Structure 1
């Protein structure tokens, strides 16, 4: 007999399992009632987790219940790790009671994925290795990915790449395109971390092609969009980076992938900063922190605070930057396993301290950075990943050749003539392939040598810059012990001279041009620093009346020292009694071999034969540097003072 209560219950099931709005996740009229999320259907919204949870108590088949419960646990780990762990522990208990070793192992893989994101890397590794003894071969792609993440988080990038290769080989063996997509995605991420952005982009796009061929919009596809965006951002292709980040956000917001959303918004902080859209960068930082808190993930929270701190540092808010970067490091301590991002945090903290003239703290932070950096970016890890990349490519080629040979054998059994023609064609292709492979190896070797030389040169400039900052810090420490104002002034001028040289090396290792310096940007940073060191940002303004101009290092360093001395003299003597003033710097190329430098102020000026103020060391230094550059100097005593130089220089590349 159909009662009112039965009708209500029936209506409940119709609503729960109907196709309307939920992509027919459940249809109990079929032998296989569950359309697995992100595999057989993705036509649903963020409510799908509640649908799965509501269905649990109505499912009687063990295998189906295990499948739904495991999906619940895994996809909850994209929103809240604590909730996800609760479902996992329920699954582990249930499979123990049912004595089902296979599904117990699968729940252990999900448990490992959650624990490693809770910074419990050792426990996650033990559980994942135990699960490997229980699960089937088809489960190893997911298992290997989680083990790879464990080693990646520890900074062991070489071992992480080993597991990506295992996943790749498994995908080839089983013809599992999802596994191949995951392998390429993992390697793309590792290349990005190692600064190999072109390789990272290539492998990321290959990964996306596999996911798109399968029609998947799942968590791994969303993460790969973010990784591709990162590689485009590092290659300074900002429009492409924005395109992939927006696609990732669209998927993440639709399905509630909070971990990926936090990742993307962290990267958007950098992208908007590069585009000088500071309000959007700040908003992205807030979103990154919001999703990290929702996820209850210390790793995401640490990186979110770091991105906000770096943004503040780049915009001159050094106290705020120090506060947020310190928060980032505090979140990461003591169980944080990722040396890559922790080294980034200490490097950024050191820069913020240095810019805030807290040189002792800066030195300590840079020391921590160097220690962590040596652990993560080892020559062994670089060689290991390069070797694995070669194995990936060789495996692809071997698979292609094997497939061609199989087709030829099939044709040979059906028609001898076609077999003969195909064999001749194969031989011709083989000759071309060998020729192409040899040329590719040569080109690859040359590219590798160029990259190694470029890396070494950047590393040299980086070290020189760091050493000059140490010298500057030592001078600052010594200055703090001196009470004589004349000595203090001399020490501060020495610090500015050292800083003018350190900017050169900083610009060299941060730019794509290792042999030239863009002078307008360089003078702007130098002038800002000098005004800041004298505390004259409000009273004195500097105009940079010059277009972009690239000069070689041997010319840029003396020019920087000359401008440093002239700016210092103007600030000390040209504007007494709190007088407002303007200083103008104009550098222009007059011919292929000649440049002209004009530095002038509208101060009180000086008489032609007036007494020399100060020690006279600055004047002597300017004369020596002018001779070094084979130049001439002219002093014009107008209202204010003008210094006009002409130099012979080599043409910048």
Structure 2
């Protein structure tokens, strides 16, 4: 159902279940967590993402490929709906779902996943990859005689060819999809197929068919589809019918339809920024009526909505920039008109370059065919003159044909090589993330073994040593977790890491009500070789503060600070307002933690100072490890 989510992804609703519920879910069977994730994907409560990632980790431990694919699909849908990050996050989880399903025997599920990933590629203008996956899915559906799946695949082809302005192909596959979905009484697929046919018929100038398709789509939506789950279909249907009316010159009917589409959007999402995208249709009608002053605010609001909702892949935004320029020009604001005219040209040039890149091989074939036809015409003319010129022309045509065939061969070979290199690079990135994931799991297993062993140990000092070792292993495990979850495989964001680390340590000592940990720092990204020693230093000092600084339930605060003081120098401060320590008194415990802190400081070519007035404060000046 990703197509439905992408149609109305900007409909942000609020929901805030308690974090106690999130903790409870993480202890429930994984099937219960999946049900909760499916039920709450639109409401998006605060802990949704963390619960989903935790469920993904649990799924990988089962080695159940179908289960892992389910969680990746949910995460992809969540990213597509709410867009907390770039669209690459959607692609990442969709690709992972396909990789998992390719290791199963569920071919229909695999074909469905191909369709989903193809849609994601089309949303990023990667039409070659999207088309390839759609035809893969068609082969599976045909082999399994799955008409419902074929209808969805043909509908996706219609959408692809509409975007490429290949209207005849869009109509061909759209009509096939409509026939199959009507036969199987698949009303949602019928609805979205009629949307594509409305657009295709309009582009082909078949306005009566376009009106009929839009009317049927609206009738199905309002009478047979549950709302608000499918609210995106009637919204688009009214908007598409408005475009047909605009092309037919029926401005009043078109304006009413666009206003209806905008009203449905506001009913579904409230006064959300995304609803303003439907104001573009209103502006188009007003522009056609030469009501430039009325059209301009609708254009500006609609374009701003597209820009703020990461719709850089939206192919028609260059036309809206152009129309804004026309409005400004007619209103006498030539400076603003020039600004938007330049924007329109820049976006249009980019789209044309992308389209040429996607269709380059097709263009070569057409170019070569044209040359051959020209050669044949020249040959016929030469025959009327003399034999000698005829053979000369044939020779030239043959040489040109060889040249073009050679160029075409090397072009295809180079394209395949580049595609293979890109695929290998993506594969290596996925493998590296998988390695970090497995290292984190192994460290987590070591930590669990230490915890189990410490439970059975009766000697207090031995138990404390094992608990300290467990904490150190966890600190390194969190680093590898951040690596495979982050955007950059080579760096760690330390503020987020410190928050996770301190939460684990405070939770281990049950000190949430007693001790508050503050972070007096901005986000800092460090390489792994620097982050690991610093993480271990902070782990030791936090542990010592919790063990010795606040005896007998005393309340207190711990402050962490990390910042760059020079180009390659770092300052780390760990301070508490506990009981401190008298000058000359011996440190508590075995002393191994203090020795480890000094060794790690030396490893980073650093220095350490301690201040025991008003608690305990440690100052470190450290050098980034990648310089050594």
TM-score computed with the length of structure 2 as normaliser: 0.43
TM-score computed with the length of structure 1 as normaliser: 0.42
Whose relative contact order is higher, 1 or 2, with alpha carbons under 8 Å and at least 6 apart? 1
